[in-house]
Structure 1
Amino acid sequence: MRLIVSADTHLGSPIRSAALRNPALGNRLQQASRDAFAALVDLAIAEEVTALVLAGDIFDSDYPDLRARAFLIAQLSRAAEAGVETVLIRGNHDALLDHRAYGDLGPGIHLLHREAPSVEIGGALFHGLSFDSSHVSRSFLPDYPAPVAGRLNIGLMHTSLDGAAGHDPYAPCAETALMAHGYDLWCLGHIHAPFERRRADTLALMPGIPQPRHFGERSGGTVCLVHLGPQTASRAPEVEWRPVAPLGFAQVDVDLTACASQQDLLHSLRSAMKQAQVPGRDTAVRLEITTARHGAALLTELAQEVLEDLSGLYLDKVKLHRPALATDAINDDLMRLMQAEVAEPGFRQAALEQLEELRDALPPSVTADLAPETLDALLQEALEEVALALHAEAAT
Structure 2
Amino acid sequence: MSAFRFVHSADIHLDSPLRSLALRNPGLAELIGNASRQVFVRIVDLCLDERVDALLLAGDLYDGDQTSMKTARFLTEQLRRLDAAGIRVFIIRGNHDALSKITKELVLPDSVTVFGGRADAVEMSRERGERPIWVHGISFAKPQAPESLFDKYKPPVAGAINIGLMHTSLDGAPGHDVYAPCSTADLARSGFRYWALGHIHRRSTAEGACAIVMPGMPQGRDIGENGPKSVTLVSVLDDGSLSLDERIVSMAQFERVAVDASGLVAWRELAARIESALGEASDRSHSDHLVARVSVSGATPLAWTIRRDADLLRTEAESRAGAIGNVWIEKLETDCRKPAVVDPADSADPVEVLRRTIADEIVGSEAFHVQAQIIVDNLLDQLPPESRRVLAPDETGLALLIGRLSDDGFEEVLARLTAADADGAR
What interval of TM-score do these two structures reach, taking the shorter chain for normalisation? 0.7 to 0.9
Which residue in 1 is equivalent to 2:390? 373
Q: Is the 8 A contact 2:119 2:152 kept in 1?
A: no
Which residue in 2 is equivalent to 1:366? none
Q: How big is the shift at 1:19?
A: 6.1
Q: How big is the shift at 1:249?
A: 1.5
1:253 and 1:371 map into 2 onto residues whose CA distance is 28
Which sections of structure 2, spanning at least 5 residues, go unmatched? Answer: 126-131, 345-355, 419-424
Q: Is the 8 A contact 1:201 1:237 kept in 2?
A: no
1:158 and 1:391 map into 2 onto residues whose CA distance is 52
Which residue in 1 is equivalent to 2:321? 307
Which residue in 2 is equivalent to 1:356? 384
Which residue in 1 is equivalent to 2:49? 46
Which residue in 2 is equivalent to 1:141? 150
**Aligned counterparts, 1:1-396, within 5 A:** 1-18=4-21, 20-99=23-102, 102-115=105-118, 117-122=120-125, 123-198=132-207, 200-230=208-238, 235-278=240-283, 281-290=288-297, 292-293=303-304, 294-295=306-307, 296-323=310-337, 325-326=339-340, 329-333=356-360, 352-356=380-384, 370=387, 372-373=389-390, 375=392, 379=401, 382=405, 385-386=408-409, 388-389=411-412, 392=415
2:118 and 2:71 map into 1 onto residues whose CA distance is 26
TM-score normalized by structure 1?
0.85
1:346 and 1:145 map into 2 onto residues whose CA distance is 58
Structure with the greater alpha carbon radius of gyration: 2
Residue type at the aligned position of 1:315:
I
Q: Percent identity?
A: 34
Q: Could you tell which deviates more after superposition, 201-210 or 280-289?
A: 280-289
2:122 and 2:199 map into 1 onto residues whose CA distance is 22
Q: How big is the shift at 1:103?
A: 4.4
TM-score normalized by structure 2?
0.80
Report the 3-state secondary structure (helix = DSSP H, G, I; strand = E; otherwise coil) of the residue aligned with 1:298.
helix
Q: How big is the shift at 1:113?
A: 1.4
Q: Is the 8 A contact 2:188 2:209 kept in 1?
A: no
Deviations 1:18-51 (A, max 9, x none): 5643332111012221111111111111111111
1:219 and 1:11 map into 2 onto residues whose CA distance is 19
Deviations 1:78-131 (A, max 9, x none): 112112111011111111323465542112111011346222224311111111
Q: Is the 8 A contact 1:252 1:287 kept in 2?
A: yes
Q: 1:341 to 1:158 in 2, by over 3 A?
A: farther
Residue type at the aligned position of 2:384:
E
Q: How big is the shift at 1:389?
A: 2.4
1:276 and 1:68 map into 2 onto residues whose CA distance is 33
1:347 and 1:19 map into 2 onto residues whose CA distance is 26
Q: Is the 8 A contact 2:5 2:233 kept in 1?
A: yes
Q: Is the 8 A contact 1:252 1:288 kept in 2?
A: yes
Q: 1:331 to 1:98 in 2, by over 3 A?
A: same
Q: Could you tell which deviates more after superposition, 300-309 or 376-385?
A: 376-385
Residue type at the aligned position of 1:389:
E
Q: Could you tell which deviates more after superposition, 130-139 or 296-305?
A: 296-305
1:288 and 1:18 map into 2 onto residues whose CA distance is 17
Q: How big is the shift at 1:173?
A: 1.0
Q: 1:347 to 1:287 in 2, by over 3 A?
A: same
Which sections of structure 1, spanning at least 5 residues, go unmatched? Answer: 360-369
Deviations 1:199-225 (A, max 9, x none): x41011000010111111114510001
